[in-house]
A and B are shown apart, each in its own frame.
Chain A
Amino acid sequence: MLNVEGVSKYYGQRQAALSNISFRIDKGEMVFLTGASGAGKSTLLRLLYLEEKPSAGRILLDRFDLSRISKRKIPFLRRHVGVIFQDFRLIPERTAAENVALTLEVLGKSGREIRRKTDEALNLVGLLGKRNNYPYQLSGGEAQRVSVARAVVNEPLVLLADEPTGNLDEQNSRELLELLSEINMRGATTIIATHQVQLTAKYAKRTLNLVSGILEKETR
């Protein structure tokens, strides 16, 4: 489903953020991407959601070749990738439901479908009762769950989470990982980048460990 083949990313004077990374992730897998800050986890995810392009190598996601995709087609690819960030990235002037609905509005779905799917996604993350709350009226854990709902509402091919627990306390972090695990069990291929290795131990999932831009080891 996701094939990363010899991918490198350089910035400036040939300083490698990623060096010759290769791995394959199958449909429905849940994978942790671990490593210290600056190891290249976020860079790798940015390549996967096309915020940047690799300097070398090839990334294949389903039928898309991400390394050769034209700028015009990027939005259409992003509709198949759900992304969660450490800082939630919710639109402050939109309610929880409106934030989730944005993903479907962009696709031009009907009002009725948007309402139905938005409520389903909010129900999945346990926040249907707060659908009309604005981000500032939500706790950190709740805001992150809204961003999860936004990422999965369109049933993406792959769900990417970049340090999703970075701004949460331990209790909320565990609850969020439970939620992501549940979403994965429903069939979504999930890649979670985190430096909090202790949180990943419970799940006994495949782990890709990055050290200074190099894929150091892979555990299953």
Chain B
Amino acid sequence: MRSFGRIFVEIWRSVRFELLSTLGSLLTIFLATLLPGLFWIASKNLTQTEAELKSGLTMDVFLREELTVEQITRLTKEFMGLGGVTGVTYVSKEDALNRMMQKFGPKMLAGLEDENPLPASFILSVDKSVFTQGVAEALSKKISRYPEVDDIVFAGDILNRLGNILRTTEILGFALSVMVAFAALFIIANTVRVAISDRRKTVEIMQLVGATRGYILTPFVMLGGMLGFSGAILSALALNWITGYVSNHLIKLVFLESHEIFTFIMSGLCLGMVGAFIATRKYLKI
């Protein structure tokens, strides 16, 4: 306990000597950790949205005309036999109009009851295998061969493209986060270098009275850790606020889970300690 107290007193002495510089570093680390945090939350939300869309995705098979009960039974059976199809629902012209009315309201579609332009369709529920390259195209091709089929609409293509954009964003976010982490590492190392420089005389005297390398460098490494830790906490608080604000005003977002927050803050701590350790290796010649 005593040595912990000693370390914190030493840290406070370093901070007090260079208060403005330390606060500046804290602010920079806060901003530096904010960016990876934003990417993390964005990626988490987009991935979740993508998964939700994929799980509820259907293939709409529009028909040339209304089918007989026999035709519906036969086609339902045949479509169910196709790979990737997990469910088949027949939507008659009337059902389609009712659905449209429910969605947009009767006023918007007034008059369509007499002359319904909507086609009958089959709605095919599909599994994840359909998102594999080429599977959706092959399935569409098979279905389009049926003479009853007029057109096929599958949003999976768009979703696949969205997925590709997401992956690119994730890679970009990761690359940017790594760059920002390096910048934070440099900032922390520089703050610790200044602290070492300010306390060079103290370090010399400590060496003179027999302080070991560990005794001397521990407070500096802890200073870096504390900067990283505090910066990450501030950043987590800001991210929580940003997520809440966006959820209330724009689009519902999920924040990080408690274990993810813990990882985020611990990453800040480690980043700080590593940066400080690099600085002590380079500038603390003992």
Query: Using a CB–CB distance below 8 Å, which chain A residues touch chain B?
Result: 49, 75-79, 83, 89-93, 102-103, 105-108, 110-111, 150, 154
Contacts and interface: CB of A to CB of B under 8 A. Distances in A.
Contacts of A108: 3
A91 B210 contact: no
A33 B257 CA distance: 70
B205 to A, nearest CB: 6
Given A90-B205, A93-B13, A108-B3, 15 more contacts: A75-B210, A75-B211, A75-B215, A76-B212, A78-B207, A78-B208, A78-B209, A83-B208, A92-B201, A102-B206, A106-B209, A106-B210, A106-B211, A110-B2, A150-B209
B209 A89 contact: no
B2 A111 contact: yes
B101 to A, nearest CB: 79
A102 B202 CA distance: 10
A103 B209 contact: yes
B232 to A, nearest CB: 29
Interface in B204-260: 204-213, 215
Nearest to B16: A93
A107 B205 CA distance: 14
A105 B205 contact: no
B99 interface: no
B77 interface: no
Interface in B1-39: 2-3, 6, 13, 16-17
A91 B209 contact: no
Contacts of A92: 201
Nearest to B209: A103
Given A93-B13, A106-B215, A111-B2, A78 B201 contact: no
A106 B219 CA distance: 13
Given A89-B201, A89-B204, A111-B2, A79 B13 contact: no
Contacts of B207: 75, 78
A7 to B, nearest CB: 21
A106 B206 contact: yes
Report which residue of A77, A78, A79, A106 has the largest number of chain B beta carbons within 10 angstroms of its beta carbon: A106
Contacts of B212: 75-76, 106
Contact of A76 (B17, B205, B210): B210
A74 to B, nearest CB: 8
27 contacts: A75-B210, A75-B211, A75-B212, A75-B213, A75-B215, A76-B210, A77-B210, A78-B208, A78-B209, A79-B210, A83-B208, A89-B204, A89-B208, A91-B202, A91-B205, A93-B13, A93-B17, A102-B205, A103-B209, A106-B206, A106-B210, A106-B212, A106-B215, A108-B3, A110-B2, A150-B209, A154-B209
Contacts of B213: 75
A93 B11 CA distance: 13
A106 B202 CA distance: 13
A46 to B, nearest CB: 11
